[in-house]
Structure 1
Amino acid sequence: MPSSEDFYLEYQGLLLPRETHCTESLKFAQEFIFNDDDVVAVTYPKSGTTWMQEILPLVLNGGDLTPVHTVVNWDRVPWLEETRLAKIVDKLPSPRALVTHFHYSLMPPSFHTSKARVIYVMRNPKDVMVSSYYFHQMANFLEDPGTFDEFMEKFLEGRVLFGKWTDHVKSWRHAELGDRILFITYEEMVQDLSASIKRMSDFLCCDLSKDVIQKIAEHCSFRSMKANIMSNFSLVPKEYMDNEKSPFLRKGIAGDWKNHFSSDQLARFKSVINRELEGEKFPLPWSLD
């Protein structure tokens, strides 16, 4: 029976999947040279990464749909830390869009000396955990999640990809980046995607028209992305991701946690998260109740 070490490598105390990460890719990430006009979408896993891989190219190129119909999303907006970046980095158009699950402390030296901008997407951790639970069921390169209760304990203890949710959020909330960082929530995007895209456009000084913003929002709807083979991960072989067990783009909603948590699990989850965030000055944009 495979062990955790067969699935994950440990990097700076965090678990990363061996299927998409290796010593060389992490070294490449640390030596990566950021350009001043680069844009990085930062997320804790299952917090809207794929959504940002759809939105960012369209915001940066003025709404031209060509790349999202012709280039798979992991090449369109690659992960900083994954093996794929080294193979396609020279093909990325400027301004380049990247995504990362790195904590702030793991960003390479060139990031700190550049003017590269960050959009940090936060999502209610209860929905993050539910989404991650289903992802572990369908991703054959990840360890079986066990029962929902067992996975919740792993999640709260940080024995999951990229560690504790609270540590990730705190690392970026304390980042001293000034006007280089925009904080936005998954829930804001669900509620009013056009308004969220307008915020991103303004932050990136793209000056998109109302019509272009509406066009991007329509294309980046859950229904549209689920139908786009360049974005829905259906091109990934079944041996790696089995969409029959659970679709990669599952629901795309906020609040699905209400269909999964018992009252005892909710109390346990809330207690741990509140303890981890005790003394923090930034408010959570949603209630943990």
Structure 2
Amino acid sequence: MSTMRGLTSKLVMYENFWYMTNSSIFRNVLSIQKNFVAKDTDIFITGLPKTGTTWLKSLLYAIVNRTNHPINQSPLLSHHPQELVYNLESDVYNEAFDYPRPNNLNELPSPRLLSTHISYMSIPESIKTSGCRILYICRNPLDVIVSAYYFTLGFVKNTIKDKDDQDSIVLPRLEDFYEDFCDHVLEYWKASLERPDKVLFLKYEDLIDHPVLHLKRLAEFIGMPFSSKEDNEGVVQQIIDFCSIKNMKGLDVNKNGVINKFFEKKSYFRKGEVGDWANHLTPFMVERIDRLMQEKLEGTGLSLKLHL
């Protein structure tokens, strides 16, 4: 893998993934590997940033808690999804941020709903060997690039006040981003083929196009299937409508405030559209991604729609 040029030149490749050595995230990954112990009942949301993990958090939370918290009483009305499904490396094991987190993970009710952006190779062995479930969400890399760009832009503006310093930021090269993207996706894809009872591989575009089908599939996978009664009462569609990006974006709780000091709550809900990349990327960039994708995914059995 080529050397990534990004926010800093101090980078280290650890277990096939690049980390900034002066970032707390790298230290947190090491701490997670050393200290985290999974439970058989845990449910993990995994995926790279900006692939739909926030949306999936709201859907999972609503499904798991649908009996105790009907839609009109859902904690999602008063809490951002990021505050209800803890991210291991950013929340639980990150002392750099002043962020509400459980003092003891064992105090969380079962099933514990957790998330991570860590690659499959780097997640703790207890996650791989326990009976816990992993939900992985993948998204068209073109839309991920656009979404990540605007998210990073907002972060830079909120944290770096000096305009000259903002202009000096250099984002990772397209090839480097895509290589890391493919490696991350393919690790979980392979795991889902080898252990379909352990890893459920979801595509963002499939969730958009066929939400009822894939929500039922998700509920079955985690052992909480919808009953015929719930089906007839339209519970599935209620969850879909309530957790839609449009509705989540419109809730007051998601309009104001920040997550982990710097990330505006509203920045987690930009557009969520499939194919928005066409409004931002040049044909040349799209052609390069298409070529890289064909090279990386050839022979894997995985296909990603670019909507060209």
CA distance in 1, matches of 2:42, 2:83: 15
Residue pairs, 1:242-261, within 5 angstroms? 247-261=267-281
RMSD of aligned Cα (Å): 3.2
Q: Name 1:113's counterpart in structure 2.
A: 129
SS in 2 for 1:157: helix
- TM-score (normalizing by structure 1): 0.82
4+ long deviations beyond 6 Å = 17-20
1:215-241 Cα distance to aligned partner (Å, 9 max, x none): 2111101121102344x3732079724
The one-letter code of the counterpart of 1:39 is I
Unaligned 5+ runs, structure 2: 1-5, 95-100
Give the aligned residue type for 2:85. V
Q: Deviations over 1:247-277 (max 9, x none)?
A: 4411111010111222212112212222222
The residue type paired with residue 246 of structure 2 is: R
Q: State percent identity of aligned pairs.
A: 27
Do structure 1's residue 201 and structure 2's residue 201 form an aligned pair?
no
Q: Does 1:73 align with 2:81?
A: yes
Alignment match of 2:139 (pick from 119, 123, 127)? 123
**Match of 1:37?**
41
Partner residue, 1:240:
262
Cα distance between partner residues in 2 of 1:241 and 1:21: 15
Partner residue in 1 for 2:52: 48
Q: Distance in 2 between matches of 1:105 and 1:238?
A: 26
Q: What pairs with 1:117-196 in structure 2 (closer than 5 Å)?
A: 117-140=133-156, 151=171, 154-158=173-177, 164-175=180-191, 176-196=194-214
Q: Residues of 1 paired with 2:286 and 2:175: CA distance?
A: 12
Separation (CA, whole Å) in 1 of partners of 2:248 and 2:303: 28
Q: Distance in 2 between matches of 1:269 and 1:25?
A: 29
Which structure has the larger Rg over C-alpha atoms? Answer: 2
Aligned residue type for 1:221: S
CA distance in 2, matches of 1:242, 1:80: 19
Which residue of structure 1 aligns with residue 3 of structure 2?
none
Contact 1:122 1:186 in 2 (8 A): yes
SS at match of 1:103: coil
Question: Pick from 260, 283, 286: which aligns with 2:302?
Answer: 283
Q: Does 1:15 align with 2:15?
A: no
Question: Relative to 1, partners in 2 of residues 1:28 and 1:181: Cα closer, same or farther, differing over 3 Å?
Answer: closer
Distance 2:256 2:33 in 1: 27
Secondary structure of the structure 1 residue equivalent to 2:90 = coil
SS at match of 1:184: strand
Q: Partners of 1:5 and 1:124 in 2: how far apart?
A: 26
Q: 5+ unaligned residues in a row in structure 1: which ranges?
A: none
Measured in 2, the distance between the counterparts of 1:229 and 1:10 equals 40
Conserved in 2, the CA contact under 8 Å of 1:29 and 1:80?
no
**Are the structure 2 counterparts of residues 288 and 221 from structure 1 closer, same or farther at C-alpha, using a change threshold of 3 Å?**
closer
8 Å Cα contact 1:39/1:118 also seen in 2: yes
Deviation at 1:169, TM superposition (A): 0.8
Cα distance change, pair 55–255 in 1 and its aligned pair in 2 (3 A): same
The amino acid that maps onto 1:224 is N
The CA distance in 2 between the partners of 1:94 and 1:103, in whole Å, is 24
Count of matched residue pairs: 276
Match of 1:227 among 250, 258, 263: 250
TM-score (norm 2): 0.78
Structure 1, residues 47-91: CA drift from partner, whole Å, max 9, x if none? 001101211111112252433234442231011222435741344
Q: Which residue of the other structure, out of 4, 7, 23, is the alignment partner of 1:4?
A: 7
Q: Deviations over 1:7-51 (max 9, x none)?
A: x87561423697763625641354211111111111111100110
Letter in 2 for 1:252: G
Q: 1:207 to 1:17 in 2, by over 3 A?
A: farther
